[in-house]
C-alpha cells in the first residue's frame, strides 16, 4: 500500500513532479504514474487499484486541468467512491489547488488548500502527518523552492504575454509577427488568455487580417483546442484570393489592385500604409474597376 496517490493534469506535470519528489525525500511513499506505471500494464485497472489502496488521494487542481478532458477526471470519480468507505474522521481526499481555481462540485465538501497562499505547502505537510500518523517534514529550503517553482509555473506565461501585448500594439509590427503572437497567446496556459484575446478584438484599428486571426484564436480557446498555423488559416486564404484577381487587359492595373488590396487587408487601419492603399483603391474604383470588395 502506498501512502499517497498523486493525480494531476499533464499541463501541470513539471511542478507536480517536483512536488512529488519533495514528498518522496520526506519519506512519503507515493504512487506517481511517471515513476510507477510499468510498460505493458493495463493502466486503467492499475490506476483504479492504486487509488483504492492508497491512504490518501492527492489531486492537483488547476485552471488548465479544469478545462481539459481526460482520465484525470475519471480518477476523481474513483477517488470519490473510495472516500465513501473511509471513516468520516479520517483524511483521504486532499484537494490541492494550483492558484485560483473552482473546485469540482463533488469535491467541495473536502477542505482544499491553495498552494499559492502563504504557508500552504507547510499545511499540506501537516495534513499528511495527521493522515499518515507520522511526522512528514518538508525543510524550509524545499518549501521555498516549491513556492518559487509554483510562481514560475503559474505566472511566467501571463507575465510574458503582458509584455507581448505591449509589443503587439506597436504600429510597426509585421503581420507575420502579429499573427505569430496571437497563436502563441492562444496556445499558452495563461488563464487570462481568452480575456486578453477578446480585449484585443475590440480594437477597431487592427487590420482585417488581425481581426480574422483573433476570431479564429478566440474560437479555438473557447473550444479548448490548440490552434496551429494561424497565419495560414487567417491570412493565406485571403491572400490567394487577392493574388488571383485580375483587371482584364491591364497588367499594370492588376498589379496595383493586388498590391493595394493586400496592403489594406494586412495593415492597421490607422496606419499610413492602410491610408495610401485605401486612397489608391478609390482611384481604381474611379477608373471603373469593380473587383475591390
Q: What is the pLDDT of residues 46-61, one digit of tens each?
A: 899 999 999 999 999 9
* Cβ burial, residue 258 (10 Å; 0-12/13-18/19+): middle
Which residue has better confidence, 155 or 104? 104
56-61 and 4-7 strand pairing: parallel
Q: pLDDT value at position 134?
A: 94
pLDDT value at 170 more than 80: no
Q: pLDDT value at position 116?
A: 85
User: Which pLDDT tens digit goes with each residue over 203-246?
Assistant: 999 999 999 999 999 999 999 888 989 999 999 999 999 999 88
DSSP bridge pairs for 61: 97
Q: pLDDT value at position 155?
A: 64
User: Which pLDDT tens digit goes with each residue over 16-42?
Assistant: 999 999 999 999 999 998 888 878 878
Instruction: For the chain, give every residue range classified as CATH 3.40.50.10140.
Output: 4-137
**What is the grid cell recorded at 124?**
499540506
| Rounded alpha-carbon distances, angstroms, from residue 270 to 45, 170, 206, 208 | 60, 12, 8, 12
Q: pLDDT value at position 286?
A: 80
Q: The cell 467541495 sits on which residue?
A: 108
Question: Phi and psi at residue 30, in whole multiples of 5°?
Answer: -105, 155
Which residue has better confidence, 8 or 1? 8
Q: Which string of DSSP letters, residue by residue, matches 37-76?
A: PPTTS-HHHHHHHHHHH-SEEEEEE-HHHHH--SHHHHHH
Report residue 154's pLDDT band, with 50, 70 and 90 as the boundaries: confident
Q: pLDDT value at position 159?
A: 59
Q: What is the phi-psi region of residue 38: left when phi exceeds 0, alpha when psi lies from -120 to 50, beta otherwise? A: beta
CATH topology for the 4-137 domain: Rossmann fold (3.40.50)
Decide: 206 and 269 in contact? Cβ < 8 Å.
Answer: yes
What value does the mean pLDDT take over residues 167-196? Answer: 82
Q: pLDDT value at position 140?
A: 94
DSSP bridge pairs for 59: 7
Q: Which string of DSSP letters, residue by residue, matches 240-281?
A: HHHHT---TT-HHHHHHHHHHHHHHHHS-TTSHHHHHHHHHH
164-167 own/partner pairs: CB under 8 Å, 24+ apart:
165/196, 165/200
Gap between the terminal Cα atoms of the chain: 70
pTM of the model: 0.55
Decide: 51 and 57 in contact? Cβ < 8 Å.
Answer: yes
For the CA atoms of the chain, what is the radius of gyration? 27
Q: pLDDT value at position 28?
A: 96
Amino acid at each position: 500500500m502506498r501512502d499517497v496517490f498523486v493525480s494531476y493534469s499533464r499541463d501541470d506535470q513539471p511542478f507536480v513532479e517536483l512536488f512529488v519528489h519533495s514528498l518522496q525525500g520526506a519519506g512519503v511513499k507515493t504512487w506517481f504514474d511517471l515513476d510507477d506505471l510499468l510498460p505493458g500494464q493495463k493502466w486503467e485497472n492499475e490506476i483504479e487499484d492504486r487509488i483504492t489502496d492508497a491512504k490518501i488521494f492527492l489531486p492537483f487542481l488547476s485552471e488548465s486541468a479544469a478545462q481539459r478532458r481526460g482520465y484525470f477526471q475519471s480518477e476523481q470519480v474513483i477517488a470519490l467512491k473510495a472516500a465513501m468507505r473511509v471513516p468520516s474522521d479520517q483524511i483521504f481526499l486532499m484537494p490541492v489547488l494550483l492558484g485560483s481555481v473552482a473546485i469540482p462540485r463533488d469535491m467541495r465538501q473536502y477542505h482544499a488548500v491553495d498552494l499559492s497562499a502563504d504557508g500552504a505547502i507547510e499545511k499540506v505537510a501537516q495534513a499528511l502527518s495527521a493522515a499518515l500518523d507520522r511526522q512528514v517534514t518538508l525543510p524550509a529550503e524545499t518549501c521555498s523552492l516549491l513556492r518559487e517553482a509554483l510562481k514560475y509555473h503559474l505566472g511566467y506565461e501571463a507575465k510574458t504575454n503582458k509584455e507581448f501585448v505591449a509589443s503587439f500594439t506597436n504600429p510597426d509590427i509585421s503581420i507575420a509577427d502579429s499573427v505569430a503572437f496571437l497563436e502563441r497567446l492562444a496556445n499558452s496556459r495563461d488563464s487570462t488568455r481568452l480575456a486578453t484575446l477578446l480585449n484585443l478584438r475590440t480594437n477597431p484599428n487592427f487590420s482585417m487580417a488581425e481581426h480574422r486571426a483573433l476570431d479564429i484564436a478566440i474560437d479555438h480557446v473557447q473550444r479548448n483546442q490548440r490552434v496551429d498555423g494561424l497565419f495560414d488559416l487567417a491570412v493565406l486564404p485571403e491572400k490567394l484570393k487577392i493574388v488571383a484577381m485580375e483587371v482584364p487587359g491591364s497588367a499594370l492595373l492588376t498589379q496595383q489592385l493586388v498590391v493595394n488590396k493586400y496592403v489594406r487587408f494586412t495593415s492597421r487601419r490607422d496606419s499610413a500604409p492602410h491610408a495610401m492603399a485605401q486612397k489608391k483603391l478609390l482611384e481604381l474604383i474611379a477608373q471603373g474597376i469593380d473587383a475591390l470588395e
